[in-house]
Structure 1
Amino acid sequence: MGAPEFDLQHVTVHGHRRAFVSVGSGPTLLLLHGLGCDHTTWYPVIRELSRRYRVIAPDLLGHGRSDKPRADYSLGGYANGMRDLLTVLGIDRATVVGHSFGGGVAMQFGYQFPERTERLVLVAPGGVGPEVTPAIRAITTPGFDQLMRLLTLPGARHLGVAGMRALHRTGLPATRDLAEAAAIFDSWQDHRVRAAVRHLTRAVVDWRGQVVTMSDRAYLTEAMPLCVVWGEQDHVLPAHQARNVAALAPQARVEVFPNAGHFPHKDHPQRFVKVLKDFLRSTEPSVYDRDRMRRLLAEGAPAVVRQAEAGDAPVAPVQQLSGA
């Protein structure tokens, strides 16, 4: 499972050009990348997944080869965009897989469009706990864009990218994700990318950490199969947040990969594909039931979820996969 090239397609939705990869046939998997990334983050797993599924991997608006307009970069706006992309492609329902910020978009998609969501798979997702790396909190501070203009000038940018990649090659756990960070930093030379990242980050993060949380609506996942994958050495969104999922959504499958960072699907692609395929085989697609949803909403979060949100409930252990 290397990093093959895939044909990039384009479609215009609401006047904005969207880039995406579409490979394979069968039930649809919608793969959503994280902050500052693009569809290529899924390259290590697309080929294998496409043997049994139709894989759609878009560049979210403001990222990659998609347009970068002055637009709505909220979670709801991204969820709407993914619904409209699937509609244009003639796809009614999908299992939605989201990494990091894309995990937040996936959760929002499932909440807004449960009738179109078969399952949710969240990979080191945002919105599970307040903690987030200071580097992301810094994006919300005044002067971020002005500083990045200087740091992404050709000489400074080349030195910064080279330095991060050199640290990554040391193999130290704390530097595991620096190769991906270098690629994100390199993309910030485009002021439109910086603007999109700034807008979407400020919608979900403030100086104290993550603002948007799944805790108030996690009980709704009772009606939808949920799998969460995390890397044990994640320094962007700490892996102990996976315990929040185990407490807030006890029926969810939670996997923590040893020797993996913020990109477990890249650190251990074969293991990730195995977990994902097993989850897909062992669960039935969610069927939207309006009466059931009404009942869940009327009853509200059960006591254990309210206690977990307050930090009083015992957290369930998370399952770890053995291996390097």
Structure 2
Amino acid sequence: MPKPIEVQYLTIHGHKRAYVKVGTGPALLLLHGLGCDHTTWLPVIAALSRRYTVIAPDLLGHGRSAKPRADYSVGGYANGMRDLLTVLGVDKVTVVGHSFGGGVAMQFAYQFPERTERMILVAPGGLGAEVTPAIRAITLPFFHQAMGVVTLPGVRHLTTAGLRALAASGLPQARDLDEVAMIVDSFKDPRARRAIRHVVSAVVDWRGQIVTMVDRAYLTQAMPMCVIWGTEDAVIPVKHAGIASEFAPGATVEVIANAGHFPHKDHPQRFVKIVDEFIRAHPAAAYHRGRWRSLLKNGRQVPVPTAVTPVRQAEIA
């Protein structure tokens, strides 16, 4: 039986930060999605740690980290990751972000290019407006009260048990409901509900995603980028992978068949292989202030394409 992964804690700016750090070698920073925590990466941490130093934090307001009244913006999270890495003595990382964590990964790379070797984005937010109505609903006024009712002890147990049973049914549309069950269970803490609402309100409104990386995609000329998506993603549509291919033509785009919003859980071996092959094939970015200045001066916004470029579908190993 594999040894359990130990959760460690640091206090930064007066707030407790939970994280796991395992393995040796080049550093990978794994950033989870909205309402999740480091456990979303458990299917791949052990395999990745054979070649890499894996750092998987619980973002502020999530998991075992503190849930204060604080800055829950994408930029604030990027700053928090810089500070965590600084305390851990890690200078540079390949940043891997899933869903909302993908948005944080992009922001981290944008704010701290000198500390970012590569970006790996897993079904990331920030490439288009579309997002599941369930996430848009978090911004509505009644969300906090409604979740207070849903997470009452008896109701919560029935709800999460039902979601897990559907996830185990084998129905493709229900494949991600075990993660939804974990998120619902975490909402029993009113501090977590308030934190998540602050997070979502900063990046989503009733029409969909607000924050976009499209206007800064030209900066990926100076940094290797890989985008991984599942064909059956019901949270953020897989067509956004085509947007990534359009705006960052040098990016590696992998679409995994028979995978939902969590391809690293649906096909962990394939996911690890993609990550490893990408890192081996793409030397770490070397930050040069002059080149970055030139990109910023010469870069321009490009309108969103009416049709997206088809992307290659990865074969399941």
Match runs of 1:263-274 below 5 Å: 263-274=262-273
* C-alpha deviation, 1:3, in angstroms: 8.4
Task: Indicate the RMSD between aligned Cα atoms, in angstroms.
Answer: 1.3
Counterpart position of 1:306: 302
Preserved CA contact (<8 Å) 2:20 2:57: yes
Match runs of 1:200-279 below 5 Å: 200-279=199-278
Preserved CA contact (<8 Å) 1:4 1:43: no
* C-alpha deviation, 1:224, in angstroms: 0.2
* Alpha-carbon distance between aligned partners in 1 of 2:77 and 2:226, rounded to the nearest angstrom: 21
Counterpart position of 2:314: 321
* C-alpha deviation, 1:168, in angstroms: 1.3
Post-superposition Cα deviations, 1:140-195, rounded to whole Å, max 9, x if no partner, equal 01111011111111111111111111211221111110111011111100001101
* C-alpha deviation, 1:5, in angstroms: 2.4
Preserved CA contact (<8 Å) 2:176 2:261: yes
Counterpart position of 1:147: 146
Match runs of 1:60-71 below 5 Å: 60-71=59-70
Preserved CA contact (<8 Å) 1:3 1:43: no
Match runs of 1:110-125 below 5 Å: 110-125=109-124
Amino acid paired to 1:256: V
* C-alpha deviation, 1:53, in angstroms: 0.8
Counterpart position of 2:127: 128
Amino acid paired to 1:317: P
Q: Which runs of 5+ in 1 are unaligned?
A: none
Counterpart position of 1:174: 173
* Alpha-carbon distance between aligned partners in 2 of 1:63 and 1:297, rounded to the nearest angstrom: 34
Amino acid paired to 1:137: R
Q: How many residue pairs are counted as aligned between the two chains? A: 317
* Alpha-carbon distance between aligned partners in 2 of 1:5 and 1:269, rounded to the nearest angstrom: 18
Q: Which secondary structure state, in structure 1, belongs to the residue aligned with residue 228 of structure 2?
A: strand
Preserved CA contact (<8 Å) 2:120 2:226: yes
Q: Which secondary structure state, in structure 1, belongs to the residue aligned with residue 214 of structure 2?
A: coil
Counterpart position of 2:87: 88
Amino acid paired to 1:300: G
Q: Percent identity?
A: 65
* Alpha-carbon distance between aligned partners in 1 of 2:189 and 2:282, rounded to the nearest angstrom: 42
The TM-score, its normalising length taken from structure 2, stands at: 0.98
* Alpha-carbon distance between aligned partners in 2 of 1:285 and 1:323, rounded to the nearest angstrom: 27
Go from structure 1 to structure 2 and tell me whether the alpha carbon gap of 1:80 and 1:3 turns closer, same or farther (over 3 Å shift): farther
* C-alpha deviation, 1:315, in angstroms: 3.0
Q: Which secondary structure state, in structure 2, belongs to the residue aligned with residue 217 of structure 1?
A: helix
Does the alignment pair 1:24 with 2:23?
yes
Write out the 4+ residue segments of structure 1 that deviate beyond 6 Å after TM superposition. none
* C-alpha deviation, 1:300, in angstroms: 1.8
* Alpha-carbon distance between aligned partners in 1 of 2:175 and 2:46, rounded to the nearest angstrom: 24
Counterpart position of 2:188: 189
Amino acid paired to 1:295: S
Amino acid paired to 2:311: V
The TM-score, its normalising length taken from structure 1, stands at: 0.95
* C-alpha deviation, 1:4, in angstroms: 6.1
Amino acid paired to 1:306: V
Q: Which secondary structure state, in structure 2, belongs to the residue aligned with residue 306 of structure 1?
A: coil
Go from structure 1 to structure 2 and tell me whether the alpha carbon gap of 1:56 and 1:12 turns closer, same or farther (over 3 Å shift): same
* C-alpha deviation, 1:297, in angstroms: 1.1
